[in-house]
Amino acid sequence: MQRTFGSIVGLEEIVPSRPHPSDIVECSDGSIRERQDTFDDCRGNPHSNESDRDEADIEIVEEILNVHDKWIEEYCTENTDYTEGYDHIVFEVLHDWPPVVEEWIKDTYGDHTKFDGCMKDLVKAVCDDLYDSMEGEWKYNSNEYASYSSSGCCIWGFDIGEYEEQIDISDFPELQRLYNLGRLPDILESVNCDAYVNSSSIKWLRRDFEEQRDYPTFCTSHCPGGRWDFVVSDDRMREAVTNGIIALCRK
């Protein structure tokens, strides 16, 4: 800590002192050295050699990417903002509804044989009713290979698969420092974490650094796992069947 002129110049009276080359510091391996003889990682921690510093930087970047990967996983598996991007597809696959609607009717109504003579027309009437007033909800399933098995009718679903995300270097001081030193591409090539760093992005980072561009982005790939199913509730399905029967009777 160091004292200042305080209120005279509009500063705090005591502020942290800046590191000096002659400061005595303890390195990660326990050795004591002057700061000018150490190798600082991207968080300013001193190390006695470049190898320890590089290892520390790799761990720090892995930590950053893993935290971001966790956020992506939560976004893709828990956030309705993610599934809203697929709402329109449910209506675009109208031609896929009839088989699942028919299967739901047969599974739900034990005496469905009474519909045998008009099943095709009933299914069409139910699909039309659902299309006119769609009421459904997205349900997450952690097993992308499992089909929907709870109440209601799964009209359509999709596997999450691979999700790509751009990391903005300017959002992370550690990444900024590594980029400014020209070391970020090498670090990214060495990380081993849940997020996969696109090799093309690393190539572009090297080019951007050589052209002295300010804090670009790089692309990461994530595999959250699981699937989302668009489910119409049991009550809504029964309502649609009733409306379908009434529509057929009126013809």
pLDDT at 1 over 50: no
| Statement to judge: residues 133 and 152 lie in one domain | yes
Confidence of residue 3 (pLDDT cuts 50, 70, 90): low
- How far is it, in rounded angstroms, from Cα 111 to Cα 100? 18
Summarize pLDDT for 197-217 with one digit per residue, the tens: 988 989 989 888 888 778 899
In whole angstroms, give the CA distance from residue 68 to residue 70. Answer: 5
Average pLDDT over residues 161-173: 94
Where does the chain have alpha helices with state H?
Answer: 50-78, 80-84, 87-92, 97-108, 119-132, 173-180, 184-190, 199-210, 234-249
DSSP character string of 68-85: HHHHHHHHHHH-HHHHHT
* Same domain assignment for residues 87 and 155: yes
- Report pLDDT digits (tens) over 224-236: 999 999 999 999 9
Give how many domains the chain has, as a whole number. Answer: 2
Is residue 11 in some structural domain? no
Domain-located, residue 25: no
Residue where the block lists tokens 């520390």: 56
Are both 113 and 145 inside the same structural domain? Answer: yes
Tokens read off for 235: 């009550």
Q: What is the structure's pLDDT at 4?
A: 53
pLDDT above 80: residue 5: no
41 with 137, same domain: the answer is no
DSSP helix, strand, coil percent of the chain (3-state; round to 5)? 50, 20, 30
* Range 94-103 average pLDDT: 95
Based on the fold, state whether residues 92 and 147 are members of the same structural domain.
yes
8 lies in a domain?
Answer: no
The reported pLDDT for the residue numbered 13 is 59
Q: What pLDDT, on a 0 to 100 scale, did the predictor assign at position 20? A: 74
| pLDDT band per the 50, 70, 90 thresholds, residue 251 | confident
**40 and 84 within one domain:** no
% of the chain beyond a pLDDT of 70: 92
In terms of domains, do 99 and 140 share one? yes
- Whether 13 is in a domain gets the answer no
Verify that 142 and 232 share a domain, yes or no.
Answer: yes
Residue 15, phi then psi, degrees to nearest 5: -130, 155
Q: Has residue 157 got a pLDDT over 50?
A: yes
pLDDT tens, residue by residue, 47-59: 999 999 999 999 9
Domain of residue 140 covers: 79-161+227-249
Contact 190, 58 (CB under 8 A): yes
pLDDT average, residue stretch 138-167: 92
- What dihedral do alpha carbons 42, 46, 51, 56 form, nearest 10°? -50
Contacts of 227 (CB under 8 A, 6+ apart): 140, 141, 143, 144, 146, 157, 158, 159, 160
Q: 54 and 115, same structural domain? A: no
In a domain, 202, yes or no: yes
Distance of alpha carbon 137 from alpha carbon 39, whole angstroms: 54
- The residues pairing with 232 across neighbouring beta strands, listed in sequence order, are 136, 153
Question: In the numeric block, which tokens belong to residue 78?
Answer: 């828990």
Label residue 243 by pLDDT band (50, 70, 90): very high
Euclidean distance between CA atoms 174 and 141, whole angstroms? 36
